[in-house]
Amino acid sequence: MSGMDDAPTTVTLRVNRFTPRPERDRGSRGGSPFAKKGGSPFGGGASRNRRPRGKQWTQDYTLSVRPQDTVLDCLLTIKRTIDPTLAFRYSCGHGMCGSDAVSINGTPTLLCTATVAQWARHPNPLSPTDDEGFRHTGDGADNKGDPEASDMQTDGLGLIELAPLPGFPVQRDLISDIDPMLDQIRKLKPYLQADGVLATTSEGKADVFEYLQNPQQLAKYEMLTNCIACGVCEGSCPVFAGGDAFIGPAALIAASRFVNDSRDTATAARLDAIDTQDGVAACQSVRACSRQCPRGIDVGEEMWQIVAKVKER
C-alpha cells in the first residue's frame, strides 16, 4: 500500500441511535378486563419481543481516519474521545466472536471486519427538478444538489451509515437483543449426542476413547463448525424477523452441523425438530443469508441440503 493510501483523511459516521424509555410498573395499575391473558395469537407474547419504545434519532460523527481502519476502530475513537454515551457491542475485535454484528449501509456485517475504505461512500447529490418536475441527468445537468452531500464528495472519504442488526429488538443504539436467535439454537440441542460405550481400565475407571472419522466424513460438516452465531444471516433473512414465524438460518445451520456428523446418533430427532411450520417449511429459499456470512458459509446451500434431507425421510 502506498503512502498516499495510508494518509489520514476524514469520514462521517451516521449512527442510528436509540435510548429506551424506562419500563413502567404495570403491576401497580389495573389491567383492562377485556385484555387477553394468553397473549397475541400471532406470537411474540413475551415482553422482550415487543417493539421497544424510546427516543430515536440519527447523529453524525466526523473524524480523522486511515482508509484501512475498521468501522469498529472509528466507533472506539468516538466512544473514547467524542461521545462516551454511544453504545455498541464488541469483544475480540478480530471477526471470531461475532458479537459486533450491525447494519452498515443497510447490509448486515461485522464492525471489526468492515474497513472504512470498503464501506465509505459519497452521497449522490440530486440535481434540481425543472418546472415540469423532471430531474435532468448527464453531462449537461446542473448538479447543484444537497450542499451537505456536495461537501462530502469533495472532502474526505464520505459517509458510513450504521444501524442495529435488522430483525432483532433494539436495546440501545447499535446493540440488538439476539436472545431470540440463541433460544432458537438451544431448542435444537446444538451438541453431540452419541451412543458410545466408555472403555474402562483394569481398575474400573473410565478410559479415554475417541470417535474416529475419516477425512470424507469430517468434510461433510467441517465448514459448519465455523459458525459463530453472529446473527448476520438472521439480519439478512427477510423471513426471520425475531424468530416468531421462522426458526431462522442460524438455528438450522446448528442442526445441520450435527445432522451431517457421522458420530451423532440423534439425526431422526433433529430432523423431526425442524420439520415444523416455523422450521424448514418457513424458509422461502431467498438465499440472502449466504451473501454476507463472515465465516464463508454458504448458508443458503446448507439450508437447501437440510430441506432435502427432511423431504427424503
CA nearest to 68, candidates 115, 36, 15: 115
Grid cell in block for residue 139: 453531462
Give the per-residue pLDDT at 212: 79
Give the per-residue pLDDT at 130: 59
Distances (CA, A) of 39 to 34, 181, 242: 12, 21, 16
- CA–CA separation, 126 vs 311, rounded Å? 51
Grid cell in block for residue 241: 424477523
Q: In the block, which residue shows the cell 411450520? A: 277
- Give me the domains of the chain, ranges plus CATH numbers: 3-20+50-120+157-163 (3.10.20.30), 178-199+206-312 (1.10.1060.10)
Give the per-residue pLDDT at 46: 46
- CA–CA separation, 126 vs 150, rounded Å? 10
CA nearest to 311, candidates 278, 270, 277, 271: 271
> Mean pLDDT in each 10-residue stretch from start to end of the chain (313 residues)?
68 96 64 51 47 88 96 98 97 95 96 96 64 56 49 71 95 95 94 76 72 90 96 93 82 96 94 93 90 93 93 87
Grid cell in block for residue 134: 423532471
H helix or E strand, kind and range, residue 17: strand 9-20
- CA–CA separation, 261 vs 264, rounded Å? 6
Give the per-residue pLDDT at 165: 95
